[in-house]
Structure 1
Amino acid sequence: MALMQLLTELLQRIIPHTLPEGFECLALTCKYLYTLCIPFLEHYNNLRFHFQKFEYNKTNKDFREFRYYHDLLRFPDTATSAYSLISRIAIEPTVRRYILEATFSLDSRAYTRLPTTVRENAGSEIWRDRNEATRQLFADSLYLREAGLDWKEFYSAMMEDVNSWRQSEHAAAFALTLLPNLRVLTPAFSRLRSSAPQNLITTVLQTARKNPHSNASLAQVTTYSGSCDIPWVPLLLALPRIKKFWGYGYMGKAEGDNCIESSYLGTDLDSKLEVAGFNDASVDAEAIAGFLKHTPSLKTLTYWHSTEANGGYRDWDLCRFIAGVQHEVGSHLEHLCAVTLELRCLITPGKPCLRGFQRLESLELPLDIVLCNFEAAHPADHPADHESMDSNSLIGDIVPASVSVLSLLSPGKSPHDKALELLFRNFASQKQFYTPNLKKILLTCPYDADELYKAQCANLAAEAKRAGVDFGLSGDLCLISELAENMRCPFYS
């Protein structure tokens, strides 16, 4: 029987089952069906507002109307913690399917502002009718069973945190079992104190990887934005639809054997990752190589180095870092940005060689890469004149022939004027031989740059014009290329 031939009463019963994925398409089919959908529109729009791009404490009420911060707890669709989200889903399971993007960074933050009496009253008013439904949700969880966890113990551990009004690792982990349509994931934690939540998250990711065409939780995730030092990063890379990864923090072996190893990825399970970004991160050469080892589809890598990410001010071995990237993805990487904005960050002397990047189109580096090459060739105890260096060989080593856009970051202080002179000496006459595809050079020249540096920028502008290359200057010490600006994750921008 055709759908339109069904009785109105039957259609009214069918419509709730289209929420949320098919509701809009059904409502737009014809005027008759739209009329039948009208009673559901307000509820649909309310849930879409609160949950489609989910974040804790989100409300359509103006905060200026609140007399107290705890008024957030009185809105049934405003989740203030992982537990309140879970309990909301428990009483209306359809809610889980609305969530397409989730930022869990403000989990339980509202609790710190609530007096004890308010907490007790809020708990008795808001959660009393949800507890049994939530308890049953845990009892029915296939993920807890698959992880070999006793649901009663897991639930009790969560409720101990909930009743004490503190953030619960157990609730945060269990929330990840309830997201079949999630596309963008920003978790709220990195390291976990308890092994049970860790086991549960591992099980969720393994299940999603094995069932890419099912309604398994997290199977639809395309973007991850969060800590890069969590132990389940390899499983995230193996998710069937993952395309973008944005990490921050520390990853490497300098403070213990914390290097990310792709132990969960077999040669037949290479990641589909296309874009990887690290912001305010400290990743050593071994760790970046291990991360990129199974990313045959990677096209863009953006790395913003921070000395504070690993708790110290170690020198950055940029040359080894680039060598690790080149070894793993040099054959197919198209865009590379590896920079630091910290003036105190020292780059370890080394011999940079980027000739192994075969398809690189845009490249962004700190100008220090020229100086670290000079320091490696001429240590302090064997000084040499800059004039003795072969600048033609230098630009060929640092800028692959395939590059069309080159961005260089500099604070504009000595000896960066010498670095510019070394890199671009006789550029107009040598450009066609060493960098035949180069079309644009972007350079930083802050307002307080040295006069010698500004003079070298002017010389380079003239050389670029003679070579038929566009030249641009930026007054701010920031990421200046279109690549970096377009690819930066909104969460960190």
Structure 2
Amino acid sequence: MAFMELPTELMQQIIPYTLPEGFESLALTCKLLYTLCSPFLEHHNNLRFHFRKFEYNKTNKDFREFRYHHDLLRFPDTATSAYILISRIAIEPVVAGYILEADFSLDSHIYDRIPPPLRERALHETWRDRGKAVRQLFANSLYLREAGLDWEEYYNTMMEDVNSWRRSEHAAAFLLTLLPNLEVLTPEFSEFRSPAPQKLITTILEVARRNPHGNASLAQVNAYSGSYDVPWIPSLLALPRIKRFWGHGHMGKYVGNNIDESGYLETDSKSTLEVAGFTESSANLAALTSFLKYAPCLKSLTFWHSTKAHEGHQDWDLCGFISTVQRQVGNHLEHLGVINFELHCSITSENPDLRGFERLKRLELPLDIVLCYLKASDPADSEILDPGSLLSRIVPASVSVLSLLSPGKSPHDKALKLLFRDFANQKKVQTPNLKEISLTCPDDADVSYKAQCENLKAEAKRADVDLTLSEDPWLISTVGLDEDICFPSYS
């Protein structure tokens, strides 16, 4: 019997099973089905608002009406912790299917603001009626079983945190077993320290990698934002559909002044990663090599360096960093952005040469890259060098958009003069595809640096290249990331 020939009463029983994936398509099929779907529309829209792009404490209520933070606990679709979200899924499993994007960074964030006398009443009103369903969810968990974890012990440990109004690592990790449609993940993995949650997360990722076409939790994840410095990052970046990654922290470990390479830097899987970004990060070159080795599809790499990313700071080798990137992904990378938060870097004697980036279209670098060239060259020869040799070394012929970051202080004036000497005549031969240049020229820049900016403005006009001078060095654009990327971008 065709679906449209079924009795109306039977159709009404079937419709809830289409939530969330097929409900809207079913409702738009014809007037009859829309009418039958109408009673479910309000509930569907409410779940979509709260959970499609999920974050803790999200509510459609007016906060001005709240007297206390614990008022958030009164709303059944507003989750303030991993446990409350788990309990919501336990009583209505379809909720998990609505979650496509999830930011779990504010787990239990409001709990320390709830006055102790109000906690017991809130606990009784919002959680007690869900306890049996949650317990059964843990008892039936295939993930806990495959991880070799005793579900009762795991559950009881979680409840100790819940009853003490603490953020629970056990709840946060278990939540990741319930998300078959999740596409964008922003967790606080760096805060996980307990062995059982770590083991469970490893199991979740292994199952997702083994079942790329099934309904395994996290198998649909295509974007991740969070700390890099956690042991399961290679497994996460090897998920079957991962395309984008935005991380922070230190890539690679330091013990004293020595690098301690951990086994997690190696993986037998090739990643489908296309866009990678690091903010307030640092990296040793061995770890960077390992990361890039397993990213054969990488098209865009943005690295915002900061010496604050780890305590065991060593000078950042800018030229060594770029050389490492070029060796590993230079033949297929299309965008490279290397930015230094401190506006200075360790200048080595290595002679930079970026001509190995064969397909690079957008390039963003600190002007310090030219200082590396000056240090590697004989200072006496700097004025008689072929004016096009440096430009072609620093800017590959395929580049169409170039951004240079500078504090506008000496010796960056000399670097700017050397890089763009006789630019109007050299551009057509050395950088034939270059169309746009963005350059920082702060208000407090040296007079000589500002003079070089004005000279470049005239040269760029003669070469038919658009030049943008930015006063604020922090607003230089990070080009090359997708417009719809879920991670923060600056312009």
- Other-structure match for 1:442: 438
Matched, 1:406 2:395: no
Instruction: Tell me: CA distance 1:238–1:348, structure 2 relative to 1, closer, same or farther (3 Å).
Output: same
Which residue of 265, 268, 289 corresponds with 2:267? 265
One-letter amino acid of the structure 1 residue matched with residue 111 of structure 2: Y
Q: For the Cα contact (< 8 Å) 2:302–2:478, is it kept in 1?
A: no
Indicate which of 454, 461, 465 corresponds to 2:457. 461
Q: Tell me, what secondary structure is at the counterpart of 1:303?
A: strand
The superposition leaves residues 138-160 of structure 1 with CA deviations (integer Å, 9 ceiling, x where unpaired) of 11000011111111111111111
Q: Which of 419, 422, 427 lines up with 2:423 in the alignment?
A: 427
Which residue of structure 1 aligns with residue 118 of structure 2?
118
Distance 1:202 1:365, change over 3 A: same
- Cα distance, 1:473 vs structure 2: 1.3
Amino acid at match of 2:451: A
**Is 1:396 the counterpart of 2:398 in the alignment?**
no
Change (3 A) 1:232 1:294: same
Post-superposition offset of 1:314: 3.9
Deviations along 1:33-91, whole A, 9 cap, x unmatched? 11111111111111111110000011110111101111001111111101111111111
CA distance in 1, matches of 2:489, 2:34: 41
Q: CA 1:201 to 1:392, structure 2 compared with 1: closer, same or farther past 3 Å? A: same
Structure 1 counterpart of 2:114, which letter? L
Count residues in correspondence.
Answer: 487
Deviation at 1:346, TM superposition (A): 4.5
Contact 2:231-2:264 within 8 A present in 1 as well: no
Give me the whole-angstrom Cα distance separating, in 2, the residues matched to 1:362 and 1:172: 39
Measure, in 2, the Cα distance between the counterparts of 1:317 and 1:7: 72
Structure 2 unaligned spans of 5+: none
What is the DSSP-based 3-state SS (H/G/I as helix, E as strand, rest coil) of the residue aligned with 1:129?
helix
Residue 339 of structure 1 aligns to a residue whose secondary structure is strand
Match of residue 81 from structure 1? 81
Measure, in 2, the Cα distance between the counterparts of 1:75 and 1:264. Answer: 45
Q: Deviations over 1:129-175 (max 9, x none)?
A: 11111011011000011111111111111111111110011111000
Is the Cα–Cα contact under 8 Å of residues 333 and 359 in structure 1 kept in the other structure? yes
**Pairing partner for 2:467 from 471, 478, 487:** 471
Provide the C-alpha distance between the structure 2 equivalents of 1:492 and 1:459, rounded to a whole number of angstroms: 31
Shift of 1:483: 1.4
Q: Which residue matches 1:322?
A: 322
Per the TM alignment, residue 373 of structure 1 is displaced from its structure 2 partner at its CA by 2.2
Read off the aligned partner of 2:267 and give its amino acid letter: L
Deviations 1:200-230 (A, max 9, x none): 0011011101101100000000100111111
Structure 1: distance between partners of 2:458 and 2:263 = 48
Q: Check 1:177–1:485 CA distance in 2 against 1; reply closer, same or farther (3 A cut).
A: closer
Deviation of residue 343 (structure 1)? 3.3
Paired with 1:216 and 1:373, the residues of 2 have a C-alpha distance of 51
TM-score for both structures, normalised by structure 2: 0.95
Q: What aligned pairs does 1:204-283 form with structure 2 within 5 A after superposition? A: 204-255=204-255, 257=259, 259=261, 265-266=267-268, 269-283=269-283
CA distance in 2, matches of 1:176, 1:491: 23
Moved more, 2-11 or 460-469: 460-469
Shift of 1:114: 1.1
User: 1:183-194 alignment to 2 at 5 Å?
Assistant: 183-194=183-194
Identify the range of structure 1 (354-363 vs 466-475) with the bigger mean alpha-carbon deviation.
Answer: 466-475
Deviation at 1:348, TM superposition (A): 4.3
Q: How far 1:456 moved relative to its partner?
A: 0.5
Relative distance call for 1:121 and 1:491 in structure 2 (3 A) is: farther
Q: CA deviation at 1:393?
A: 2.2
Question: Secondary structure, in 3 states, of the residue corresponding to 2:32?
Answer: helix
SS, match of residue 205 in structure 2 = helix
Alpha-carbon distance, 1:466 to partner: 2.4
Distance 1:190 1:44 in 2: 34
Cα deviation per residue 1:175-220 (whole Å; 9 max; x = unaligned)? 0000000000000231422111111001101110110110000000
What secondary structure sits across from 1:478 in the alignment? Answer: helix
Contact map agreement 1:262 1:291 (CA 8 A) in 2: no
Secondary structure of the equivalent of 2:239?
Answer: coil
Cα distance in 1, alignment partners of residues 289 and 475 from structure 2: 24
Q: 1:411 Cα deviation (Å)?
A: 1.3
Cα displacement string for residues 318-367 of structure 1 (whole angstroms, at most 9, x for unaligned residues): 11111111111011001111111323654445321111111111111010
| Change over 3 Å in CA distance of 1:82–1:76 after alignment to 2 | same
SS in 2 for 1:272: coil
Most deviating of 344-353 and 84-93: 344-353
Alignment identity in percent? Answer: 68
Q: CA, structure 1 residues 124+258, in 2 after alignment: closer, same or farther (shift >3 Å)? A: farther
Unaligned runs of 5+ in 1: none
Which range moves more in the overlay, 274-283 or 309-318? 309-318
Deviations 1:286-342 (A, max 9, x none): 222111111111111111111111136643211111111111101100111111132
Residue 82 of structure 1 contacts residue 107 of structure 1 at CA under 8 Å; is this kept in 2? yes
Q: Give the whole-Å Cα distance in 1 for the aligned partners of 2:55 and 2:138.
A: 23
User: How do 1:12-27 and structure 2 match up within 5 A?
Assistant: 12-27=12-27
More moved, 105-114 vs 436-445: 436-445
Q: What is the distance in 1 between the residues matched to 2:284 and 2:237? A: 19
> Which stretch of the first structure deviates more once superposed, 391-400 or 443-452?
391-400
Alignment of 1:298-447 (within 5 A): 298-311=298-311, 314-343=314-343, 345-377=345-377, 384=380, 386-447=382-443
Q: Which amino acid aligns with 2:470?
A: S
1:254 to partner: Cα distance? 3.6
TM normalised by structure 1 equals 0.94
Match of 1:42 in 2: 42
Instruction: Indicate conservation of the 8 Å contact 2:253/2:259, yes or no.
Output: yes
- SS of residue matched to 2:364: strand
C-alpha distance in 1, partners of 2:125/2:311? 44
Letter in 2 for 1:200: L
